[in-house]
Amino acid sequence: MGELIASLLELVAEIGLTIQEFFFRKKKKRRRAYEKANNLPIKRMISPNQRVYILLAVLGFISFLIIIFFPSSSNKQITIKKLTEIKELLEKEKQVFGKYPNELRIIIRNNPLRENLLEDGWNNTFIYEIKENGAGYFLISCGNDEVFKTEDDIFIVNN
């Protein structure tokens, strides 16, 4: 149903642009005749289609600048989601095998859906360390600055 509505809206927009273009051509023809009759310089006239293309180009450029200069805060949310998923997998490992794995990549288990699980939102590898007694672990993301032991680090400590 949504596709039908989108198609109808696209058709209405296309018809509207065609009608505007028709009236623009008539207006441009009258303007050119007036300029020729009065020996005036030719005035630049922008058609409705050109206006749409210019608007799309400007909006695209502004979107590009926003994406470049204002990176999304979703990297932190992605990292928290991955940390939570890793925590659940580590707990399942502990239930099944009685201990946490020595290396974090073991929880992937040749599952292609978990292929990128070991990297945070900034494409840095998580740091995983088992506590001395083996009863807990540290799981750390270095955060946006890519430096460990700073304020932006995101971590899970399990006792």
Residue range 77-136, pLDDT digits in tens: 888 899 999 999 999 998 998 889 988 888 888 888 888 888 888 888 898 999 887 788
For the chain, give the percent of residues with pLDDT over 90.
Answer: 42
Q: Dump pLDDT digits (tens) for 52-77.
A: 999 999 999 999 998 888 766 688 88
Burial readout 133-148 (b: 16 or more C-beta within 10 A, e: otherwise): eeeebebbbbbbeeee
Mean pLDDT score, 31-37? 95
> Global pTM?
0.55
Report d(CA 142, CA 154) in Å as an integer.
7
Question: Quick one: residue 149, left, alpha or beta (phi over 0 = left, psi -120 to 50 = alpha)?
Answer: left
Give rounded-to-5 percent helix, strand, coil for the chain: 55, 10, 35
Please give the Cα distance from 81 to 144 (Å, whole number): 16
Query: How much is the pLDDT for 73?
Result: 62
The count of other CB atoms within 10 Å of the CB of residue 149 is 7
